Amino acid sequence: MSDTVDSPPTSTAPADASTVQRLKPNAVGLVGVLFMAVATAAPITAMVGNVPISVGFGNGAYAPAGYMVATIVLTLFAVGYAAMSRHITATGAFYGYISHGLGRIVGLGAGFLTALAYMVFEASLVGIFSFFGEDLLNTFFGVHIPWIILALAMLAVNAILSYFDINLAAKVLGILLITEIAMLTLLAVSVLATGGGPQGWSWGSLNPLNGFHSLSGTVTGASGSPIAVAGSAGVGLFFAFWSWVGFESSAMYGEESKDPKKIIPIAVLSSVIGIGVFYVLVSWLAIVGTGPDNAVALAQDSNTAGEIFFLPVREHLGVWAVDMFHILLMTGSFACGLAFHNCAARYIYAIGREDVIPGMRKTLGAAHSVHGSPHIAGFIQTGVATVIVVFFAVTGRDPYTGLYGLMALLGTTAIMIVQALAAFAVISYFHVQKQHPETANWFRTLVAPLLGGLGMLYVIYLLAKNASFAAGTASTDWVFHAIPYVVGVVGIGGIALAVILRVRSPRRYSQLGRVVLQEAHER
């Protein structure tokens, strides 16, 4: 197998494809790709961290319905995304897809935004890992280690693991992912085995129409006194969608996977549907096990919100299981951060090997001669994430509300924009450009991505509307207010660079988003 560069619709031929380095072929199978894709969604962190917010300030007991709505919208998006992956196999998945569907100029802007998202996502997960780790060590062993020490340790481990063969990282992620999924499954099974919870089965939680229901009314608190509650369906839906961020990363492992045209579409669809069904069932059974009204009451206070999960776990499985949940919150955050490190390194590598700036192909775009990893891009990513983490530490910001919360918002803003563009790129590629008519289909490549793209635009609206709430106490931080400007500057910067290359260096411009595998047949 070898890389090739698309022949562009210009008179200038692209550079010799033989000068382009590639990542290790046939390095990972379907299971490995799934592990890395699902790890970016961080199931246990998404459930314990996001469901209580949706319950307390969004849809109330109907939070699982919000997750069902997100499953439907993201599946529609994934249908078109998977169709594109059958024909374009490249490490810079979004970057390549959008470049082919909407053009090189929009594509490079999207590539810059995707790289930004994955770069800050690693720093974000380092923050929550350090927060959970500091609390865990203090609670279990009475040892206090400053969070920045734990953060730097995680950054170092990520750099080492990503330096070697991708299979090493996949195995580490697989072990951690299986343990957190096993514990969440034990919670769900224990509720089913004990016949439900104290306030019935809450079947309305599974009606997707209730995902648009806003919490209101009163519930009885632990003291027996009524508590007035109110929420916004938009908040619940936003946190439901937020729980999926990263599932789309499966496509970027195409060049390293076995039989990518078969494996990647399966990984894309099975990850989004599998995660969705799992999220709906686990969130529903956690609420049932706690009791719908009890869950809403507990979610009003951040100090008790986690009890929506810990209460049924403690009652049905014992204290050991609660302790295991606390451990897995830390290890799950680590797994997610490692997965995002791999994503960021591959996007930096994908843009670098196209030699957008002279010399990048031999540095950022270089693959390790033995391990076939994007080792230089990986170290650059470690450097960027380290600068972000150290900045938050020396300025006295909190690793949870500051580093985790703000960087997650920044990354989510960027990646949602790119996902919407990717959905519309599918429509353009198959139905405007008339590429691969054998794959084009009225539903798979037109209606599904159209509905998915519109759904993404709605999520972007929800994000803009509820950003201050999502940021919590960090909403007064100047970093929070800078997020729209950072996203704008990076996206427009990529577009401007593409325009400059088109005018001043047609050869380099012609290569944008065009380094793909030979098997992809994109000439």
313 vs 322: CA distance, rounded Å: 6
Q: Could you tell me the CA-to-CA distances from 67 to 50, 55, 87, 168 in Å, in that order?
A: 11, 11, 30, 32
pLDDT at 12: 35
Q: Cβ(95)–Cβ(110) under 8 Å?
A: yes
230 vs 360: CA distance, rounded Å: 52
Assess if residue 13 is contained within a domain.
no
Q: What is the largest CA-CA distance in the chain?
A: 77
- pLDDT tens string, the chain, 523 residues long: the values are 333 333 333 333 344 444 667 677 777 888 888 888 888 888 998 899 899 999 999 999 999 999 999 999 999 999 999 999 888 887 778 888 999 999 999 999 999 999 999 999 999 999 999 999 999 999 898 999 999 999 999 999 999 988 886 777 778 888 888 999 999 999 999 999 999 889 889 999 999 999 999 999 988 876 678 888 988 999 999 899 988 888 878 888 888 888 888 898 999 899 999 999 999 999 999 999 999 999 999 999 888 999 999 999 999 999 999 999 999 999 989 988 998 998 899 889 888 888 787 777 788 878 777 777 788 999 999 999 999 999 999 999 999 989 999 999 999 999 999 999 999 999 999 999 999 999 999 999 999 999 999 999 999 999 899 899 888 889 999 999 999 999 999 999 999 999 999 999 998 898 888 776 554 344 3
Taking CB atoms within 8 Å and a gap of at least 24, the contacts of 190-194 are: 190/289, 190/312, 190/313, 190/316, 190/317, 191/285, 191/286, 191/288, 191/289, 191/312, 191/316, 192/285, 193/316, 194/289, 194/316
Q: Cβ(163)–Cβ(338) under 8 Å?
A: no
> Left if phi > 0, otherwise alpha if psi is -120 to 50, otherwise beta: which for 468?
alpha
pLDDT at 189: 96
Quote the Cα angle for 221-226-230, to 5°. Answer: 90
Assess if residue 383 is contained within a domain.
yes
pLDDT at 307: 94
Quote the Cα angle for 56-313-228, to 5°. Answer: 20
User: How many distinct helices (H) and strands (E) make up the chain?
Assistant: 17, 4
For the chain, how are helix, strand and coil distributed in percent, rounded to 5? 75, 5, 25
Q: Cβ(114)–Cβ(98) under 8 Å?
A: no
Name residues whose C-beta falls within 8 Å of residue 324's C-beta, 6 or more positions apart in sequence: 183
Tokens of 523: 């000439």
304: exposed, middle or buried (Cβ count in 10 Å: 0-12, 13-18, 19+): middle
pLDDT at 357: 78
pLDDT at 222: 67
Q: Which domain holds residue 308?
A: 30-513
Q: Cβ(92)–Cβ(435) under 8 Å?
A: no
pLDDT at 226: 85
Quickly list DSSP for 97-148.
Answer: HHHHHH-HHHHHHHHHHHHHHHHHHHHHHHHHHHHHHHHHHHHHH-----HH
Assess if residue 398 is contained within a domain.
yes
Assess if residue 24 is contained within a domain.
no
Name residues whose C-beta falls within 8 Å of residue 133's C-beta, 6 or more positions apart in sequence: 145, 147, 150, 330
Tokens of 149: 């020490």
Query: Which helix (H) or strand (E) covers residue 516, if one does?
Result: strand 515-517
Assess if residue 365 is contained within a domain.
yes
- In sequence order, what are the beta bridge partners of 162? none
Assess if residue 520 is contained within a domain.
no
pLDDT at 517: 54
Count CB neighbours of 447 within 10 A: 15
238: exposed, middle or buried (Cβ count in 10 Å: 0-12, 13-18, 19+): buried
The domain total for the chain is 1
pLDDT at 520: 38
pLDDT at 1: 36
Assess if residue 4 is contained within a domain.
no
pLDDT at 200: 87
- In sequence order, what are the beta bridge partners of 516? 4
pLDDT at 364: 83
Assess if residue 288 is contained within a domain.
yes
* Helical spans, DSSP H, in 194-259: 233-242
> Left if phi > 0, otherwise alpha if psi is -120 to 50, otherwise beta: which for 64?
alpha
Tokens of 229: 């509650």
Tokens of 520: 């992809």
User: pTM for the full model?
Assistant: 0.89
**CATH at residue 62:** 1.20.1740.10
